[in-house]
Amino acid sequence: MLSVITPVVRSNFRLFIEKQSGQNLSRCYQCGKCTAGCPVSYAMDLGPRQVMRAIQLGLKEEVLASKAIWLCVHCQTCSARCPREIDIARVMEACRLQFQLEKGAAADKDVALFHKLFLEAMGRWGRLSEVDLAANYNFRSGHFFANLGLVPGLLSRGKLSLPKNKGAGVVKQIVSLSEKASKGGAAPRKNTASPLGEVNKKP
Ligand code: SF4
Ligand code: SF4
């Protein structure tokens, strides 16, 4: 008689990602709709589907070494498309957290710099200023001429003017709270919970 085969061994890595993201990765049946809809999968070394499979298999080093977890822009297209209702964007976020808990910073120094400058720009303006972020990134990363071809399009859409400083104080407070929380780690996320919190120990 045929019996249902249920995997019983789950790696600590997978357990951490499931707990932190609040997602049950057993639900993924590898249909690939997440990768098909992801706007940045063309640049990823592992597509979202492959990241999901690697986590299911407990391939921690492969996941943490992949650029995919840092290239994800959290647009949530994958989460909206998943027929199994898995919030893949949260899974990606949990992978970044695992990386930071173990290694302290983003794998790619340009990615780490971009995140830092993004938060600094948000703190200065209370919202994203493309011109502030782009100018600072090009200057401080040494990629002086990166993305210059985008300037005409940004100009025509009025994206290269500095925004009014609105709510910057609140954003600074959020960033500061987040930094304090990240010194002690972050609490596992529930579906509606704030990402701020504390975790007591590494998985
Ligand atoms: S869309 Fe959902 S079920 Fe399909 S591969 Fe992606 S995560 Fe798995
Ligand atoms: S949330 Fe990340 S992985 Fe999902 S579609 Fe957007 S960029 Fe791709």
pTM value surpassing 0.75: no
Helix, strand, coil percent content, the chain, rounded in steps of 5: 55, 0, 45
Any idea which ligand is nearest the CA of 44? 2
pLDDT single digits (tens) 17-73: 999 999 999 999 999 999 999 999 998 999 999 999 999 999 999 999 998 998 898
Write the residue with the smallest CA distance to atom 4 of ligand 1: 31
C-alpha 75 – ligand 2 centre gap (Å) = 5
Question: From the alpha carbon of 27, which atom of ligand 1 is closest?
Answer: 3
> Given a cut of 50, is residue 174 above it in pLDDT?
yes
Ligand 2: which atom is nearest the Cα of residue 79? 4
Query: 43: Cβ below 6 Å to ligand 2?
Result: no
Q: How big is the chain, counted in residues?
A: 203
Residue 6: predicted pLDDT: 55
Q: Is the CB of 78 under 6 A from ligand 2?
A: yes
Give per-residue pLDDT as tens, 71-96.
898 899 999 999 999 999 999 999 99
The tokens describing 149, both together, are: 């071809």
Q: What is the pLDDT of residue 199?
A: 33
Give the span between the Cα atoms of 203 and 195, in whole angstroms. Answer: 18
Atom nearest to 73 CA in ligand 2: 7
Element (H, E) at 20: helix 12-21
Hey, what domains does the chain have and what are their CATH numbers? 12-105 (1.10.1060.10), 109-181 (no CATH)
